[in-house]
Amino acid sequence: METSEQLREVEQAQDLFKIHGTHHIEFYVGNAKQAAYFYRRAMGFALTGYCGPETGVRDRASYLLEQGKVRLVLTTPMNPENPIADHIYKHGDGVRDIAIHVEDAEEAYRIATERGARGVMEPVEFSDANGTVKIATVATYGDTVHSFVERRNYNGAFLPNFAPRQDALAAPIGLKHVDHVVGNVDWNKMEDTVNFYKNVFGFSRFVSFDDKDISTEYSALRSTVVANENKWIKFPINEPAEGLKKSQIEEYVKFYQGAGVQHIAIECQDILQSIATMRDNGVDFMVVPGSYYDDLQERVGDIQESIEDLRKLNILVDSDDKGYMLQIFTRPLEDRPTLFFEFIQRRGGESFGKGNFKALFEAIERDQAERGNL
Ligand code: FE2
């Protein structure tokens, strides 16, 4: 079995407007106050900002959670007429906005919409005592959007209307930054979505996997990773593929009622420590069989972590020609089998874990079967 994925850069990416990286990821959730408690208590995020009725925003409440460079915003509507409520009714809790920090929001919006993106919000200025932020929003797959956040004239910690909060509860567990955000799209929509990122953002095809790479005895998917010029933004796009039984992507699309964010991968300072803490805190992870570790050394070569420690925590390893990476996936964090998190630590490796797909997807299938969705 081939265990290292070849990183094939088919085209050279060239950002069509200046991108600084991921700004934040906003979730629409049914109860942001309680969801925030989960991310604080289970994953060590600190509540650092809040906006809602107390800060002059009448129609919603948003909680800003931070750790390292990761910023999550959890937003809930205050009444059923709010379109946020429609989003939650249809999709359950999920990611609405993968917001991108750009140099110039007006330029980004103009170029993206000229090149085929559907505009959701034209550039708007938001101001407070710290200055002005300009935000514009375009649609991507499903009901997911990308906001362009321009903050060169803003000195505040996050965005206007957010009041700072001190968090005595959360203890950071070494999460550093977002490595990639994965979108699941419907049958035969992957190429269109990849072309959208190429045409509208100037991203390139970073690596592709066909259904032979990503299949088990029963189910399959196809995946292509697009990335921006400096590779700080990486968006793998998955679509279902034919198998004997139902693809996990098809299960997602059915329960999310369309395309949406499947998982967010976060880089850890020390994945062994982060996962041990999250396990103690009650985070539920996918389980691969113990036999996965029996021939791990032969598959991935020398690694500095002890195989016994990895086995104990059920952390997976994959290698490529540049090094290796450690990874683990949570189970879905909602009752619908939709969004989950991945935690990774790269030790040179640039892979997305191709060598682990089979073991991992067999684990996902066991859960799918238990839900009656295989
Ligand atoms: Fe991933």
Q: Is 7 part of a structural domain of the chain?
A: no
CA of 106 to the centre of ligand 1 (A): 31
Run of H or E residues at 271: helix 271-280
Supply the pLDDT for residue 262. 97
Q: Is 30 a residue whose pLDDT tops 90?
A: yes
Place of tokens 């110039």: 104
196 and 102 part of one domain: no
Measured between alpha carbons, how far is residue 193 from residues 147, 178, 197, 350 in Å? 17, 21, 7, 22
CA of 113 to the centre of ligand 1 (A): 28
CATH of the domain at 329: 3.10.180.10
Q: Is 169 part of a structural domain of the chain?
A: no
The Cα 73–Cα 63 span in angstroms is: 5
Supply the pLDDT for residue 350. 87
Number of domains into which the chain is organized: 2
The Cα 94–Cα 261 span in angstroms is: 7
CA of 263 to the centre of ligand 1 (A): 7
Point out the domain boundary residue: 109, 137, 164. 164
Q: Which two tokens stand for residue 184?
A: 């699941």
190 and 128 part of one domain: no
Q: Is 107 part of a structural domain of the chain?
A: yes
CA of 350 to the centre of ligand 1 (A): 11
CA of 264 to the centre of ligand 1 (A): 7
155 and 271 part of one domain: no
117 and 229 part of one domain: no
Q: What is the pTM of this model?
A: 0.93
10 Å CB burial of residue 56 (0-12, 13-18, 19+) is exposed
CA of 317 to the centre of ligand 1 (A): 13
What count of other Cβ atoms lies within 10 Å of the Cβ of residue 306?
Answer: 10
190 and 257 part of one domain: yes
156 and 184 part of one domain: no
CA of 183 to the centre of ligand 1 (A): 10
Place of tokens 């938001």: 126
Q: Is 288 part of a structural domain of the chain?
A: yes
Residues in the chain: 374
CA of 58 to the centre of ligand 1 (A): 36
pLDDT in tens, 290-325: 888 988 888 888 899 999 999 999 999 998 889 999
CA of 153 to the centre of ligand 1 (A): 34
Q: Is 152 part of a structural domain of the chain?
A: yes
pLDDT in tens, 216-272: 666 688 899 999 998 899 999 999 988 877 888 999 999 999 999 999 999 999 999
Range of the domain at 29: 19-164
Supply the pLDDT for residue 211. 67
CA of 226 to the centre of ligand 1 (A): 13
Q: Is 13 part of a structural domain of the chain?
A: no
CA-wise closest residue to 14 among 203, 148, 224, 233:
203
Q: What is the mean pLDDT of residues 79-86?
A: 97
CA of 165 to the centre of ligand 1 (A): 31
184 and 324 part of one domain: yes
Run of H or E residues at 106: helix 105-114
CA of 327 to the centre of ligand 1 (A): 8
Supply the pLDDT for residue 300. 87
pLDDT in tens, 63-77: 999 999 999 999 999
142 and 203 part of one domain: no
198 and 136 part of one domain: no
Q: Is 35 part of a structural domain of the chain?
A: yes
274 and 301 part of one domain: yes
Measured between alpha carbons, how far is residue 162 from residues 55, 56, 127, 165, 204 in Å? 7, 10, 11, 9, 35
- 367 sits in the region (left: phi over 0; alpha: psi -120 to 50; else beta) called alpha
148 and 181 part of one domain: no
**Vertex 279 angle, CA 277 and 282, to 5°:** 115
Point out the domain boundary residue: 98, 130, 164. 164
- Residues 6 or more apart whose Cβ sits within 8 Å of residue 183: 140, 141, 142, 144, 193, 235, 236, 237, 238, 259, 260, 261, 262
pLDDT in tens, 325-374: 999 999 999 999 999 999 999 999 888 888 888 777 787 888 888 888 88
CA of 266 to the centre of ligand 1 (A): 9
Supply the pLDDT for residue 218. 66
CA of 54 to the centre of ligand 1 (A): 37
CA of 191 to the centre of ligand 1 (A): 19
CA of 155 to the centre of ligand 1 (A): 33
Point out the domain boundary residue: 164, 182, 217. 164
Supply the pLDDT for residue 6. 43
CA of 33 to the centre of ligand 1 (A): 27
Q: Which two tokens stand for residue 203?
A: 């991203």
> What is the Cα 359 distance to its own chain's centre?
21
Q: What is the mean pLDDT of residues 1-20?
A: 63
Angle between helices 248-256 and 357-370 (to 10 degrees): 50
Q: Is 252 part of a structural domain of the chain?
A: yes
pLDDT in tens, 137-185: 999 999 999 999 999 999 999 999 899 999 999 899 999 999 999 999 9
CA of 352 to the centre of ligand 1 (A): 6
CA of 166 to the centre of ligand 1 (A): 31
149 and 103 part of one domain: yes
